[in-house]
Amino acid sequence: MSNNRLIMIVIDALRFDTACSHMGFIQHLVEQGKMARYEVKSEVPSLSRPLYETILTGTPPIVHGIVGNSVVRLSTQESLFHLARRSGKTTAAAAYYWVSELYNHAPFRHRMDRIQLDQDAPIENGLFYFEDHYPDSHLFAEAEWLVSEKNPDFLYIHPMNVDDDGHKFTADSVEYRNRVLATDALLALTLPKWLDAGYDIIVTADHGMTNDGNHGGNTTSDRHVPLFIASSKVKPVIHDQIISQLQIAPLACYLLGIDPSEAMAPLIISGLVD
């Protein structure tokens, strides 16, 4: 029985193939009938800031206007944070500072905006980092604090170390693959507790990473990312359907039990439980 509460984890630059081959704990949940697996084709350009906005608003870059990483302004769209708050739900994020710039304040003020608690803003409680090598272990500890102390209905978690190692060493490197293993280990420490607390879980990525150590283009390595879902509202099997990244926001609305925005595409992915 879903409690209409959701934790969304967006692992920056996690390729679909590497997720399938190196996330042993997540694959265990899939094999044990606890989690569904899909393959997602991201929007282009396959860059971070545009795709954060796409994931959280369900709109493509041509609509939301965040067409590159250098576009620094507040979102003009209705995000999951806006929709959740309007529906009376509480929101939180442990994420890269670009997320704060999209939904709470732009530009990011490093001394003032790192810790944002009990705000009258789309993200009520936010802990934001601004170094790409900021340890994922610290970020997940902060996410656990938000769950324990703020008890949000919608929590967004965004670790960066997979992307950081991909840029430094390329996707075809020991370092990249080992970082994915390390991220999976962090999920193993946190997901069981959050599932026991009644949260639905989404694990996905904004974009992939190429063997050149970059992303932004139109290749499978750039665009194909995983989507893992743990919810009584989704059949916990491996789904062959490759779905659009535009489906993630309406899916999150479905799991939260809130109405999607008018700009979002209809939810048409397979495996939903009526």
Give the pLDDT confidence score for residue 1 in this predicted structure.
53
Q: What is the pLDDT of residue 17?
A: 98
In the block, which residue shows the tokens 């789904």?
239
Looking at every residue in the chain, the average pLDDT score rounds to 98
DSSP characters over 186-236: HHHHHHHHHHHTT-EEEEE-S----TTS---SSSHHHHEEEEEEE-TTB--
Q: Give the torsion through C-alpha atoms of 58, 84, 14, 160, to 10 deg.
A: 120
pLDDT value at residue 274: 74
Whether residue 98 is predicted with pLDDT greater than 60 in this model: the reply is yes
Q: What is the DSSP string of 256-271?
A: HT-PPPTTSPP---TT
**Does the pLDDT of residue 90 top 60, yes or no?**
yes
Give the chain's domain count: 1
Q: What is the mean pLDDT of residues 251-262?
A: 98
Flag whether 267 is in a domain.
no
Residue 84 lies in a domain: yes
C-alpha–C-alpha distance, residues 263 and 81, integer Å: 15
% the chain with pLDDT above 70: 99
Tokens of 221: 């390595």
Residue with tokens 């789309």: 122
Q: Taking residues 48-57, what's their average pLDDT?
A: 98
- Interval 19-30: pLDDT, tens: 999 999 999 999
The sign one gets for the Cα dihedral 48, 49, 54, 60 is negative
- Give the pLDDT mean for 49-75: 98
Residue 208 lies inside a defined structural domain of this protein: yes
Tell whether 273 is covered by a domain. no
Q: Decide if pLDDT at 2 tops 80.
A: no
CATH number of the domain bearing residue 155: 3.40.720.10
**What band does 83 get if pLDDT is binned at 50, 70 and 90?**
very high
The pLDDT of residue 241 is above 90 = no
Tell the residue number behind the tokens 């932004």, with chain if given: 216
Q: What is the pLDDT of residues 194-211, one digit of tens each?
A: 999 999 999 999 999 999
pLDDT band at 188 (very low <50, low <70, confident <90, very high): very high
Q: How many CB atoms lie within 10 A of CB 110?
A: 10
> How confident is residue 215, by pLDDT bands cut at 50, 70 and 90?
very high
State what percent of residues in the chain have pLDDT above 90.
Answer: 98
In a domain, 272, yes or no: no
The verdict on residue 42 lying in a domain is yes
Domain residues for the domain of 81 are: 6-256
